[in-house]
Amino acid sequence: MHSGELGRQGLYGRRRDCDQLERMLAEIRMGRSQVLVLRGDAGIGKTALLDHMARHASGCRVSRVTGVESEMELAFAGLHQLCAPFLDRLDRLPPPQRDALSMVFGLLEGNAPDRFFIGLAVLSLLSDAAEERPLVCLVDDAQWLDQASAQTLAFVARRLLAESVALVFATRESGDDQALRQLPELRVRGLNDVDARAVLQAALRSPLDPAVLNGIVAEARGNPLALLELPRGRTPAQLAFGFELPSAMPLASRVEQEFLRQLHPLPVETRRLLLLAAVEPLGDVILLREAATRLGLASDAATPAEARSD
Ligand SMILES: Nc1ncnc2c1ncn2[C@@H]1O[C@H](COP(=O)(O)OP(=O)(O)O)[C@@H](O)[C@H]1O
Ligand SMILES: [Mg+2]
């Protein structure tokens, strides 16, 4: 696919990344497990890539979980989300693993189970489910997974072998997720300018002033969310003609400064007359003269200004 063209899935500039994810699906269909951490800034398109993978996982079972910031302190909250659909298989696990996981999820009373057993139990559970159909586990916003879940899933990821399981995480660039740092990674980078323009143009209904377009593309630095959000705060006139844009500001304020510099040396009466002229919209000289008289401005107040109009 050429740059700037819309991919099959409505994503611009992600052909290579999508290909990699689709190859992973082909691999697990052949019984070779796959692990990947998508890492990138907020808004760069990680969730969009997970969506792409889910859409292409025909014939597979897809289990999605999302780290939730408010649940970061709840041990195993994320793991519970991921395993919930498979808990009917618990009885198929070796008893120590079954009991360990049952205790973690509050299905069985007992002391805090051994972390190693918990990890093995999750590995067994997912492998067992994958024997029926290839299994795709998508863990979004992994930067907000509780630590116990992140560590357990990383443990599982390192031990997957000949199982039909794909385990794909999406996490923030700056995520403090040591557990995932050792796993294979795909950096999700900003779009190039051609693709960024295409995203911007596809999202807009009204025409865009070329200078404004360039400004937004530069400001967004290839981040699709920024490309979609930046035009929002601007009026159609601003987008079409570039009025009052930050990029136009320096020029506008330079002009303004120049006028102020010229006005400064003029007498107060002259400046007041100029102000009056500026707020009179029609250029009606008779009206202006009448208003000046009412304000008590001398009839020759305009002279100093006329003398300077070079
Ligand atoms: N390659 C792309 N082309 C067009 N739109 C995209 C692309 N990648 C992401 N988007 C859109 O940009 C926004 C942010 O993407 P998202 O996947 O939510 O980012 P992240 O999960 O990394 O924070 C979403 O509205 C998404 O649909
Ligand atoms: Mg996301």
Q: Give tens-digit pLDDT for 99-119.
A: 999 999 988 898 888 999 999
CB atoms within 10 A of CB 300: 10
The single residue listed with the structure tokens 């808990």 is 87
pLDDT of residue 249: 42
Residues within 5 A (CB) of ion ligand 2: 47
Ligand having the closest approach to the CA of 48: 1
Distance CA 298, CA 260 (A): 22
Note the pLDDT of residue 204.
85
**What distance in angstroms lies between residue 42's CA and the mean position of ligand 1's atoms?**
9
Residue 240 C-alpha from the chain's centroid:
25
Pocket of ligand 1 (CB under 6 A): 11-14, 40, 42-48, 199, 224-225, 228
pLDDT, tens only, 72-83: 889 899 999 999
pLDDT at position 248: 44
Whether residue 37 is predicted with pLDDT greater than 60 in this model: the reply is: yes
Q: Which residues of 256-265 are buried (b: 16+ CB within 10 A; e: fewer)?
A: eeeeeeeeee
In the structure, what pLDDT confidence band is assigned to residue 198 with cuts at 50, 70 and 90? very high
pLDDT band at 210 (very low <50, low <70, confident <90, very high): confident
Report the distance separating Cα 76 and Cα 124, nearest Å. Answer: 17
